[in-house]
Amino acid sequence: MPMQPIIGITIDYSQKELYSKYPWYALRVDYADAISTHGGVPLLLPYDVAAIEQYAQIIDGLLISGGDFDIHPKYYGQDINSEYVVNVIDSRTRFEIALLERAISISMPVLGICGGMQLLNVYSGGSLIQHVPDKGGTVTHQQPHPKCQPHHDIKVQEDSLLHSIAADAIYKVNSTHHQAVDKLGKHLKVSAMAEDGIIEAIEHVSHPYCIGVQWHPEYMRSEQDRNLMHSFVRASWLYKGKKNG
């Protein structure tokens, strides 16, 4: 029986005294459960830049998670221009950029979720809308609870990898973000948009599997999201087979 692919998942960081009086890492169980459900082995990755090469040798796919943080605008050449840019975690952003760079260089499958999609765009030279409500759009991108439920429609580009995975051009996704992709980074293309023009998914044009989505498919509340998580684990399994010869 083939060995299961090991999926590295980046994690959140907090100093809030909710779990411990000392700093702690965190990850919602949905991320790990979604990987396990589809046959992968989740491996959480602490922010150790010195360990990136070892991480890259161990894991077969990289999932860059969302979390309670914003990417500092300095990473895309801007100053903070919104009072809503909060909880900047430089150590996380530096680590994820370095890890993503290594993963892309070896054609490892990558899935960026929410902040992970934003990280992919910033790494590629793109920029972010620092606070989506400031744009005055018609879609509420920070839905009320329960945040796991499908909330608004997206339209998927028919020539995209995402469309071939989801097998649908229009479907509903959840929405829990206050930032979004603005200027698109190099070697990326838009693969889905919301009705108000906010970019909901991107993908790398010359990488076999590098997708970023603004919503949270790890909740797996729709067939399309289950298809996406399954395809990512399968791509990682295929990568593992090639890596091991």
114 is an active site residue: yes
Phi, psi angle pair for 8, to nearest 5°: -80, 130
Q: Are 112 and 214 in contact (CB under 8 A)?
A: no
For residue 117, what are its two tokens? 């999609």
218 is an active site residue: yes
Give the largest Cα separation in the chain, rounded. Answer: 53
Ramachandran region of residue 171, left (φ > 0), alpha (ψ -120 to 50) or beta? beta
β-bridge partners, 211: 111, 203
Give me the catalytic one of 141, 151, 152, 216: 216
216 is an active site residue: yes
DSSP 35: H
CA distances for 50 relative to 64, 139, 224, angstroms: 18, 41, 37
DSSP 88: B
Give me the catalytic one of 38, 96, 114, 203: 114
Give me the catalytic one of 96, 200, 203, 218: 218
- Please identify every residue annotated as catalytic: 114, 216, 218
